[in-house]
Homo-oligomer: A and B are copies of this chain.
């Protein structure tokens, strides 16, 4: 069983795996191995290598846990939180704890090991994004959960283990610190200006020089944030104000898929195939009405994409102080110019 423990000062919640404590020698370096698709548990035809599927988009007539799917969701084989646990809260002296209740699912993005967000078609990607919506809507029904965090670690340096493209969901009985910081920050901004800060960012970034814009579509904006923490960090914002990712519709999800594909094909072309983290920030659910009464006015869901190019980031963990050697205007310019160069080549 794991425990959720709260830091008494910063109120940061940490998942402590009390069940199988790692001995010191267990941390020896895991070597980057050759891809062995024979033993890949996420490839089509290997469905028996995962726990039974939770849901899959699959061809009519095909059976669960057999080929014929295009997006497939399975429980994590080694979940950090467990759905069977009862939600209990208690104190130990000064400290606050919760039982390690939660869900930890894997979303296998493609049946094909070598597909990715850069080389797949827009329609294929839209199905993954639609699955995100479906899973959040389902997890929301469980009153024990307050948040569903969707993320993707691609490449060893970004914490990824299995190379077959997949995302993860962790549903938790608490709101992650970074999301809470955003909620608090946007509330403060809203109280001061009576406007959503993310809507203000969209206005700011799409007028004048547009020098941080990477891709702009009808409904979405992908840009290098003004105070980017990492080289080539990119955020994607929906132009329509909404706190909750789940409100996305079929037309929007197609538009978003196009933008995601554009962003990743640019990143891949410019940086090789960089390790990266992808995080979806949406609003919490099942929270006290009083606490988040205005949340629908001030919060705005978005996606953060962080290539992991530097090991420089050392003391950042302990200080929250980031040093970024690449100005976002420069990153956005290089990413934008890729199209122009190719258009010139085509002529």
Contacts and interface: CB of A to CB of B under 8 A. Distances in A.
Contacts of A325: 17, 20-22
A17 B94 contact: no
Contact of A178 (B16, B312, B318): B318
Interface string A206-222: 00100000000000000
Given A15-B321, A20-B325, A156-B311, 10 more contacts: A12-B227, A16-B227, A16-B327, A94-B204, A158-B314, A172-B321, A178-B320, A181-B320, A277-B315, A308-B314
B319 A24 contact: no
B24 A159 contact: no
- In the A-B complex, list the 4 residue pairs whose CB atoms are closest, starting with the nearest: A159-B314, A177-B320, A279-B318, A178-B320
A8 interface: yes
Interface residues of A, number: 88
A176 B317 CA distance: 11
B277 A95 contact: no
A231 B309 CA distance: 24
A80 interface: yes
Contact of A8 (B13, B94, B189, B228): B189
A342 interface: no
Nearest to A15: B323
A94 B226 CA distance: 10
A271 interface: yes
A93 B206 CA distance: 12
24 contacts: A7-B226, A8-B200, A8-B201, A10-B181, A13-B321, A14-B323, A16-B327, A16-B328, A17-B323, A24-B270, A24-B271, A24-B334, A27-B309, A95-B204, A151-B315, A151-B318, A152-B315, A159-B313, A159-B314, A160-B314, A177-B320, A177-B321, A178-B321, A277-B317
A225 B7 contact: yes
A14 B229 contact: yes
Interface in A1-35: 5-18, 20-22, 24, 27, 30
